[in-house]
Structure 1
Amino acid sequence: MAREKRPQHHHNFKAGAMNALIRVSSVISNSPIIMNVDCDMYSNNNDAVRDALCFFLDEEMGHKIGFVQYPQNYNNLSKNDIYGNSLHVINEVEMGGMDSLGGPLYIGTGCFHRREILCGRKFTKDYQEDWNAGIKDKLQESIDETEEKAKSLAACTYEHGTQWGDEIGVKYGCAVEDVITGLAIHCRGWESVYNNPKKPAFMGVGPTTLAQTILQHKRWSEGNLSIFLSKYNVFLFGHGKTKLRHQMGYHIYGLWAPNSLATLYYVIIPSLALLKGTPLFPEITSP
């Protein structure tokens, strides 16, 4: 089923599609866990679903986990990867580091969410997932009844006057809506888990040319910088809700664009100094 689109109603891009799917799936299966994978990615590891469920079902920590995030891997990159699109630093270092601070951010794909957290539920210590919720009701409904309900939930006017895109579902108003959605989940008290198996769980198609890379990084950089300059600035939005170290982890991406200035300086200035024979460090002199 496709969501309804009309020129006079903003469809809110991927976030709008995600929210429509959340509503429609609630009358079809109402599964307590939702898997989110981009259309240009595919499952590469048949253990990924089982592994994610193991985190949610853990007797000691499972009730704290809001979502399980897998890394974003590509299958079309060259061996040399001259544009750095393999995201090795993010996948192997940064995301794993955030795992010890409250969990990685939501990157928009390769993720398993609890349905309830996407619907705005706050974490409580006595939280227990009802794994049988909705199953009996769904079995009693006919296909025609389910289809009619789903059509109304996918209508372009359904969200008018509601909290969808704000307090409920994936958030609207940002090029990287996944980041602020994950941040809001963390600020409601939930933790996340990063799982990076040896065999990639999901594979996709990444940018392979300079033009594609610049376009992708431009979108990510602008989106993350806009978060840093908005009300969703982690130090403000997450104050008193998440750990300071966790907030600093988020700012690695919020300051991704300005950080390019320091990188350019590191690349250009030492090279010019070496060409002109200017010493970069003080000369060593013996006493």
Structure 2
Amino acid sequence: MAYNYPPEKLSVYLSDDGGSILTYYGMWEASLFAKHWLPFCKRYNIEPRSPAAYFSQSDGHQELCTPKEWSLIKDMFDEMTERIDTAVMSGKVPEEIKARQKGFHEWNQEITSKNHQPIVQILIDGKDQNAVISNSPIIMNVDCDMYSNNNDAVRDALCFFLDEEMGHKIGFVQYPQNYNNLSKNDIYGNSLQVINEVEMGGMDSLGGPLYIGTGCFHRREILCGRKFTKDYQEDWNAGIKDKLQESIDETEEKAKSLAACTYEHGTQWGDEIGVKYGCAVEDVITGLAIHCRGWESVYNNPKKPAFMGVGPTTLAQTILQHKRWSEGNLSIFLSKYNVFLFGHGKTKLRHQMGYHIYGLWAPNSLATLYYVIIPSLALLKGTPLFPEITSPWIAPFVYVFCVKNMYSLYEALSSGDTLKGWWNGQRMWLVKRITSYLFGVLDNLRKLLGLSKMNFVVSPKVSDEDESKRYEQEIMEFGSSDPEYVIIGTITLLNLVCLLGGLSKVMKVGWNNIHLDALFPQLILCGMVVITSIPFYEAMFLRKDKGRIPFPVTLASIGFVMLALLPAIV
């Protein structure tokens, strides 16, 4: 609401599918604070205009305003935050607050997060019924854990739509997804720097970036299924036509029937119209459908990020998020929306290939599992799998290994990552492939066999104080007995045993007798896995804090390693 844009042209909707009275209470408190905060923002042109972000970054009033005025607005924000936190901790809204606002009367003892009637309340500008239901030609959506970091983001996006030469071709403008809570070296590889700076920028030149579900400006008409035509012209006055004649109460009741979504039953909503349903990454498939209707998209990545959000800060959160992403993208690849089929003749081949970078994330787990298991077992047994190091046939393997790592390092450093951050990213590349992506494959297989259905799991972004402290110290977080940790423990221990066993065999038998040049590539591969896995060995055997790998996980991993070694030993 504090954007550098005429407020009468902005309509803000906040939705909570769970129907929480605490969410509504937070909205109500924010609406009261907004009456003081918005004039303060406009008067002094402050940045960022999210109060929580602003006060966490600001050292004081400095040259913006008088100390008294700054302290007054800061105290109002702190008091509001304290009231909301108190209500959340107690799990209920104070009775005196409920009596002051009619919206709280919508809740009763029978309402649950999964079973409640549509609840619609107008908190700001409720005196103008024409401001209640908007028919504006542009829709922006942002995730609940993100805030605006640039008050000119709306104007910047509209510049693309209003471009005289290319604007009529643009279906949506996508901003990158940036996080403000990640450490400098990004121990879990969640910064998305390379994706934001390299991959999405590359997609922009192929026909447009993916729709990533947040920080995006859409034309309303394309969400309603409109196909691109060369003579298309946007009616920028459409949003102010057909003024409503009903009262606020009548409009509110009509909005409740709209929120119930019963009008969608038996229609093309969720298929041909609106956001696609039935997929864990509904944003990607929605953007694909828009591209296949002839529209292009634009990637806008300003130096000052338009939006900032909260990224995963534990290993469990990271694995869960990438499992959902990889599972959803693979489900698109295996469905009728496969880009090569659905986009044939509608989008360029190179654009289709860009989409498949993400569609094939999950299947890459199978090749990775092979390379971190089979060569190591063969090393222990003394069986060479690669050409000898002196053979010219080793050149393709050396080329791929060197160029891949050199280029990924160049991409990371040029995108703003540190050298240590790149190394952490290589470790997480391995972890995600043997856990998140593997489970993405297995879940898709179960769905194809009819054993399960698509299940959307929201990625938690909240960590306790101890977890946050370990994250700041760049210590990896485990602490639970999840099956993903058993896989990680098994793979890392297997490679350690095979490396030590292979080296001991070389030392006993002799360098010449065991043909070291034939086993050297496997020694390098196994050694790389071991070196990147040092934090996992520490978590299993050295650490004593609550974030270490639990002993049952270590014990199970040792058991699986012993089973895997039986064929190699025999």
**CA 1:17–1:51 in 2, change beyond 3 Å: closer, same or farther?**
farther
1:201-247 deviation digits (Å, cap 9, x = unpaired) = 11111111111100001111111111111111111111111111000
1:158-210 deviation digits (Å, cap 9, x = unpaired) = 21122111111001010100111000000000000001111111111111111
**CA 1:78–1:48 in 2, change beyond 3 Å: closer, same or farther?**
same
Higher helix share: 2
1:100-144 deviation digits (Å, cap 9, x = unpaired) = 111001000010000000010110000000000141323655433
TM superposition shift of 1:276: 10
CA contact (8 A) 1:15 1:171 kept: no
TM superposition shift of 1:48: 1.1
Q: Which moved more, 1:114-123 or 1:151-160?
A: 151-160
Distance 2:172 2:291 in 1: 10
**CA 1:136–1:203 in 2, change beyond 3 Å: closer, same or farther?**
same
CA contact (8 A) 2:275 2:286 kept: yes
Q: Which moved more, 1:263-272 or 1:196-205?
A: 263-272
**CA 1:90–1:127 in 2, change beyond 3 Å: closer, same or farther?**
same
Gaps of 5+ in 1: 20-24
CA contact (8 A) 1:104 1:192 kept: yes
TM superposition shift of 1:37: 0.3
Distance 1:18 1:55 in 2: 40
Q: Give the number of aligned pairs.
A: 277
Gaps of 5+ in 2: 1-98, 116-129, 389-567
CA contact (8 A) 1:30 1:135 kept: yes
**CA 1:87–1:110 in 2, change beyond 3 Å: closer, same or farther?**
same
Distance 1:163 1:12 in 2: 34
1:236-267 deviation digits (Å, cap 9, x = unpaired) = 11111111100000000100111234455666
CA contact (8 A) 1:28 1:138 kept: no
The answer as to 2:246 corresponding to 1:246 is no
**CA 1:183–1:104 in 2, change beyond 3 Å: closer, same or farther?**
same
**CA 1:128–1:44 in 2, change beyond 3 Å: closer, same or farther?**
same
Q: Which residue of 1 aligns with 2:569?
A: 286
What TM-score does the superposition give when structure 2 sets the normalisation length? 0.43
Distance 1:155 1:177 in 2: 20
CA contact (8 A) 1:29 1:138 kept: no
Distance 1:78 1:265 in 2: 32
Q: Which moved more, 1:153-162 or 1:196-205?
A: 153-162
Q: Which moved more, 1:144-153 or 1:206-215?
A: 144-153
Q: Aligned with 1:197: secondary structure? A: coil
1:50-108 deviation digits (Å, cap 9, x = unpaired) = 11000000000000000000111111111111221011221111111010111001000
Q: Aligned with 2:106: secondary structure? A: coil
**CA 1:130–1:14 in 2, change beyond 3 Å: closer, same or farther?**
farther
Q: Which residue of 1 aligns with 2:172?
A: 67
CA contact (8 A) 1:3 1:17 kept: no
Q: Aligned with 1:67: secondary structure? A: strand
Q: Aligned with 1:272: secondary structure? A: helix
Higher strand share: 1
Q: Aligned with 1:139: secondary structure? A: coil
Q: Which moved more, 1:272-281 or 1:144-153?
A: 272-281
TM superposition shift of 1:26: 10
Distance 2:100 2:269 in 1: 15
The answer as to 2:69 corresponding to 1:3 is no
TM superposition shift of 1:156: 4.0
Distance 2:185 2:277 in 1: 37
Q: Which moved more, 1:225-234 or 1:254-263?
A: 254-263
Alignment of 1:120-269 (within 5 A): 120-138=225-243, 141-263=246-368
**CA 1:60–1:178 in 2, change beyond 3 Å: closer, same or farther?**
same
Q: Which residue of 2 aligns with 1:22?
A: none
Distance 2:169 2:112 in 1: 27
Q: Which residue of 1 aligns with 2:381?
A: 276
Q: Which moved more, 1:268-277 or 1:102-111?
A: 268-277
CA contact (8 A) 1:15 1:170 kept: no
CA root-mean-square deviation: 6.2
**CA 1:286–1:173 in 2, change beyond 3 Å: closer, same or farther?**
closer
Q: Aligned with 2:298: secondary structure? A: strand
**CA 1:209–1:62 in 2, change beyond 3 Å: closer, same or farther?**
same
Q: Aligned with 1:140: secondary structure? A: coil
**CA 1:16–1:194 in 2, change beyond 3 Å: closer, same or farther?**
farther
**CA 1:235–1:86 in 2, change beyond 3 Å: closer, same or farther?**
same
Q: Which moved more, 1:59-68 or 1:140-149?
A: 140-149
Q: Aligned with 2:362: secondary structure? A: helix
TM superposition shift of 1:145: 3.9
TM superposition shift of 1:12: 24
Distance 1:145 1:119 in 2: 25
**CA 1:166–1:38 in 2, change beyond 3 Å: closer, same or farther?**
same
Q: Aligned with 1:275: secondary structure? A: helix
CA contact (8 A) 1:3 1:156 kept: no
**CA 1:206–1:142 in 2, change beyond 3 Å: closer, same or farther?**
same
Q: Which moved more, 1:132-141 or 1:29-38?
A: 132-141
Q: Percent identity?
A: 95
CA contact (8 A) 2:381 2:569 kept: no
Q: Aligned with 2:140: secondary structure? A: strand
Q: Which moved more, 1:10-19 or 1:77-86?
A: 10-19
Q: Which moved more, 1:123-132 or 1:85-94?
A: 85-94
Specify which structure has the bigger relative contact order, considering alpha-carbon pairs within 8 angstroms and separated by 6 or more residues.
1
CA contact (8 A) 1:15 1:177 kept: no
Q: Aligned with 1:256: secondary structure? A: coil
Distance 1:140 1:10 in 2: 25
Distance 1:14 1:97 in 2: 51
Distance 1:265 1:137 in 2: 63
Q: Which moved more, 1:217-226 or 1:260-269?
A: 260-269
Q: Aligned with 1:158: secondary structure? A: helix
**CA 1:89–1:110 in 2, change beyond 3 Å: closer, same or farther?**
same
Distance 2:111 2:279 in 1: 9
Q: Aligned with 1:31: secondary structure? A: coil
Q: Which moved more, 1:120-129 or 1:271-280?
A: 271-280
